[in-house]
């Protein structure tokens, strides 16, 4: 291990739980990694980074997420190895990454075992036998990076690519408030180990499919502004999806881009799922805690980026949610 890496390790004074997780990893041979449904860049990047890390240690490991798998992340090494149906064999050690609660992964596949919970969401339910919840971390990918340092494992270009992608995407291209000195220190090290920033950024941000661009235009043409333009919301219904091919997806960063409109403090993007249920993504600037708001809606997440999923009819649930959001915002805006 180089002197540069030793210096990096000195800068990270990790809590005891990280060393406990490292001990469990060293003492066991089989692992199942669990990532939340509708995985994003941090979920897939951190999960795949951990998958390659464990396999590099000679461990047997699999990575499961319900999906759907986002095509803009197909470039990630190991993307095609991610399981979207439950494995037949369940190891006794299960590691959840970037997931505030097991139900965020699956409502039907809840494997029993020794649960390790690695996450950075404010609303995490502390469900594991070992819980490393660091709300100051830029991404779960940063936590896996730090775990690798404690494990004293080398960073291959494959691992570096996955973890860099996790950190880049969850920080909005290193633009969000969760970006700090640690973020850039870790990112710089991952670049030194083989991550290629320009290529990764191009894959994530500059390979938009036609359907994604058309869907974005449909959403933008129906923006609804309230509270003197400080609250903006929009929706993607099944009718909207049908206009662009019928696939249910959200263009990457759309709700965050809505938040970027001048004067907007909070942006909410509602979705009607193919089952007719309700889903929402909430984004805010510094003044509004959307994690608390998402909790009221039955979800959770970060202070400035959260979401919820409610298995109730879309239209009536959207109206209920709008009423609750307006009530929550009235004293704030």
pTM of the model: 0.90
Instruction: Examine residue 68 and say whether the peptide bond preceding it is cis (omega within 30 degrees of 0).
Output: yes
Task: Supply the pLDDT for residue 1.
Answer: 44
Same domain as 133, residue 174: yes
> How many Cβ atoms are within 10 Å of 15's Cβ, its own excluded?
9
* pLDDT for res 7: 56
| Strand spans (E) along 44-159 | 60-64, 93-97, 114-119, 130-133
- In this model, does residue 2 exceed pLDDT 70? no
Q: What is the CATH number of the domain that holds 216?
A: 3.10.310.30
CATH number of the CATH domain containing 200: 3.90.1640.10
Q: Per the structure, how many domains does the chain have? A: 2
Per-residue pLDDT tens over the stretch 245-298: 766 777 768 999 999 999 999 999 999 999 999 999 999 997 799 999 999 999
d(CA 128, CA 94): 9
What pLDDT was estimated at residue 42?
Answer: 98
Residues 52 and 126 in one domain: yes
Let me know whether 178 and 109 are in one domain.
yes
Tokens (6 digits) for 268: 């909410």
Judging by DSSP bridges, how do beta strands 278-284 and 305-310 pair with one another?
Answer: antiparallel
Highest mean pLDDT among 113-117, 241-245, 282-286: 113-117
Among candidate residues 205, 227, 244, the one where a domain is terminated: 205
Specify the higher pLDDT residue, 302 or 197.
Answer: 197
Same domain, 38 and 134: yes
> What are the pLDDT digits (tens) for 56-81?
999 999 999 998 899 899 999 999 99
Q: Are residues 190 and 219 in the same domain?
A: no
Percent of the chain's residues with pLDDT above 90? 81
107 pLDDT band, cuts 50/70/90, is confident
The per-residue pLDDT for range 18-29, each reduced to its tens digit, is: 999 999 999 999
Q: What pLDDT band is residue 333 in, cutting at 50, 70 and 90?
A: confident
Task: Look up the domain containing 80 and give its range.
Answer: 3-205
Cα separation, 57 vs 49, in Å, equals 13
Mean pLDDT of 236-251: 83
Q: Which of 205, 223, 254 is the last residue of a domain?
A: 205
- Residues 96-124, mean pLDDT to the nearest whole number: 94
Domain boundary pick from 152, 175, 205: 205
**Whether residues 171 and 222 fall in one domain:** no
In terms of domains, do 25 and 149 share one?
yes
């Amino acid at each position: 291990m180089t002197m540069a890496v030793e210096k990096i390790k000195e800068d990270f004074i990790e809590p005891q739980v990280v060393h406990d997780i490292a001990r469990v990893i060293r003492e066991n041979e089989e692992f199942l990694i669990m990532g939340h449904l509708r995985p994003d860049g941090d979920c897939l990047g951190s999960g795949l980074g951990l998958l390659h890390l464990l396999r590099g240690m000679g461990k047997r490991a699999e990575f499961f997420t319900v999906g759907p798998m986002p095509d803009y992340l197909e470039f990630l090494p190991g993307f095609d190895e991610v399981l979207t149906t439950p494995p037949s064999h369940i190891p006794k050690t299960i590691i959840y990454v970037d997931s505030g609660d097991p139900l965020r992964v699956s409502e039907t596949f809840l494997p029993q075992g020794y649960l390790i919970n690695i996450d950075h969401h404010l609303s995490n339910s502390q469900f594991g036998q070992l819980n490393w919840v660091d709300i100051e971390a830029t991404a779960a990918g940063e936590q896996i990076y730090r775990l690798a340092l404690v494990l004293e494992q080398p960073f291959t270009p494959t691992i570096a690519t996955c973890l860099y992608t996790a950190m880049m995407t969850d920080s909005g291209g290193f633009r969000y408030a969760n970006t700090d000195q640690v973020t850039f220190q870790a990112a710089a090290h991952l670049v030194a180990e083989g991550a290629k920033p320009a290529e990764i950024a191009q894959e994530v941000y500059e390979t938009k499919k036609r359907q994604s661009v058309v869907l974005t235009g449909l959403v933008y043409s129906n923006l609804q502004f309230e509270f003197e333009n400080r609250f903006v919301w929009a929706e993607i219904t099944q009718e909207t999806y049908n206009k662009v091919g019928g696939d249910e997806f959200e263009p990457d960063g759309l709700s965050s881009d809505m938040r970027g409109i001048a004067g907007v403090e909070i942006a909410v993007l509602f979705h009607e799922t193919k089952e007719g249920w309700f889903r929402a993504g909430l984004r805010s600037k510094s003044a509004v805690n959307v994690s608390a708001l998402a909790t009221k809606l039955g979800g959770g997440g970060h202070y400035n980026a959260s979401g919820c999923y409610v298995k109730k009819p879309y239209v009536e649930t959207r109206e209920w949610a709008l009423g609750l959001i307006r009530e929550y915002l009235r004293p704030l805006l």
